[in-house]
């Protein structure tokens, strides 16, 4: 195995460990610190979107910033557009990514969701180059599969189409979570728990519903317990932003978790975002309250 391939595989193993700790949305500080390889520190990012550390001859990662001027796009048919560095097709970074495409080199793709937070996906491959449009075409592969040999490249196309489409859905889900948690200052709207790892973005109108748009106003930041209770209609929130607990749950006798975790929330006003456009949709809460009452 070449030293470059060994480094790339070490990078994937390190990323897997970071995802176990942080989830698949990783902080900039972790990516910048990077991992150790044979006594050298290898970061995953720099200020450039196309990043090549000194130990490698070709890029290691590509990054889309939250406020990127490059406006990277998601295309129909399960592919991604990644904009060139600048407008010169022969810039050394664009040339490096072009050579990575020719050699079928596996990269890491980091998509900025919020300031300092990136959704990580790997391996990804550059599969197209459009100098006139100043863009590369990128596909995501499945980390569970071995890296393909050149003779097997065509066999992986259908799989990469599917995995890239799945990545795009995951991107929208993570973006919704990051925006909702940020709006609620990373705490549960009901119990005020502040541990990010235990928080979810709950949909008021389900995302499978045509009206269930991934907007902050269609979400609530809830801890795991209250998210499960909310989804299963044990509790809801009325249009005046008060918690409503189902009558049979209020009358039930159980341990302290039921009493303190659910029953005592009845009638409590939830914590709310500061910005008016982020407030929970009253129409969505009214519709959900109707379903809650029918279920009760």
The tens digit of pLDDT for each residue in 85-126 reads 999 999 999 999 999 999 999 999 998 888 899 999 888 999
pLDDT grade for 158, boundaries at 50, 70 and 90: low
CA-nearest of 255, 250, 244 to 293 is 244
pTM value is 0.73
CA-nearest of 168, 158, 153 to 75 is 168
Question: Can you give the pLDDT at residue 5?
Answer: 87
CA-nearest of 241, 255, 233, 259 to 190 is 241
What domains does the chain contain, in order, with CATH numbers?
Answer: 3-180 (2.30.280), 185-295 (no CATH)
Poorest-confidence range of 130-144, 153-167, 241-255? 153-167
For 13, the token pair is 């193993």
Residue 161 has pLDDT above 70, yes or no: no
Radius of gyration of the chain (CA): 23
**Sign of dihedral through CA atoms 59, 62, 65, 71?**
positive
Give residue for tokens 């918690």: 243
User: How far is residue 189's CA from residue 280's CA, in Å, rounded to a whole number?
Assistant: 11
| Over residues 139-144, mean pLDDT | 66
Does residue 271 contact residue 184 with C-beta atoms inside 8 Å? yes
Residue 70 has pLDDT above 70, yes or no: no
User: How far is residue 46's CA from residue 23's CA, in Å, rounded to a whole number?
Assistant: 21
* Angle at CA of residue 293, ends 290 and 296, nearest 5°: 150
CA-nearest of 141, 137, 121 to 129 is 137
Residue 51 has pLDDT above 90, yes or no: yes
Question: Can you give the pLDDT at residue 74?
Answer: 52
User: How far is residue 224's CA from residue 227's CA, in Å, rounded to a whole number?
Assistant: 5
| Over residues 130-147, mean pLDDT | 75
- For the CA atoms of 275, 280, 282, 285, the dihedral, rounded to the nearest 10 degrees, stands at -170
DSSP character at residue 222: E
Q: What percent of the chain has pLDDT over 70?
A: 86
pLDDT grade for 159, boundaries at 50, 70 and 90: low
Question: Can you give the pLDDT at residue 146?
Answer: 42
User: How far is residue 103's CA from residue 171's CA, in Å, rounded to a whole number?
Assistant: 27
Does residue 234 contact residue 291 with C-beta atoms inside 8 Å? no
Instruction: Report the mean per-residue pLDDT for the chain.
Output: 87
Which residues, at least 6 apart from 232, have a Cβ–Cβ distance to it below 8 Å?
A: none
Residue 180 has pLDDT above 60, yes or no: yes
pLDDT grade for 163, boundaries at 50, 70 and 90: low
Question: Can you give the pLDDT at residue 139?
Answer: 87
| Over residues 227-245, mean pLDDT | 97
């Amino acid at each position: 195995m070449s030293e470059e391939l060994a480094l790339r595989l070490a990078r994937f193993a390190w990323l897997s460990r970071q995802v176990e700790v942080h989830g698949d949305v990783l902080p900039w500080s972790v990516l910048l610190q990077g991992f150790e390889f044979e006594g050298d520190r290898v970061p995953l990012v720099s200020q450039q979107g196309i990043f090549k550390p000194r130990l490698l001859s070709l890029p290691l990662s590509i990054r889309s910033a939250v406020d990127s001027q490059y406006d990277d796009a998601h295309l129909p048919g399960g592919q991604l557009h990644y904009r060139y560095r600048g407008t010169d097709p022969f810039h050394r970074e664009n040339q490096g990514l072009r050579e990575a495409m020719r050699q079928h080199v596996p990269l890491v793709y980091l998509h900025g969701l919020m300031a300092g937070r990136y959704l990580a996906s790997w391996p990804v491959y550059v599969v197209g180059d459009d100098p006139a449009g100043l863009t590369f075409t990128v596909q995501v592969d499945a980390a569970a599969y071995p890296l393909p040999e050149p003779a097997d490249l065509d066999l992986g196309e259908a799989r990469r189409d599917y995995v890239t489409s799945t990545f795009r859905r995951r991107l929208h889900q993570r973006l919704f979570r990051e925006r909702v948690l940020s709006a609620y200052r990373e705490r549960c709207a009901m119990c005020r728990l502040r541990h990010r790892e235990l928080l979810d973005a709950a949909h008021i109108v389900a995302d499978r519903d045509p009206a269930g748009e991934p907007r902050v106003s269609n979400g609530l930041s809830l801890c795991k317990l209250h998210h499960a209770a909310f989804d299963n209609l044990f509790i809801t929130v009325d249009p005046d932003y008060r918690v409503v607990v189902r009558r049979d749950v209020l009358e039930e006798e159980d341990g302290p978790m039921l009493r303190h975790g659910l029953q005592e929330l009845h009638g409590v006003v939830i914590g709310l975002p500061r910005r008016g456009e982020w407030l929970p949709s009253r129409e969505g809460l009214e519709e959900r309250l109707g379903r809650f009452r029918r279920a009760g």
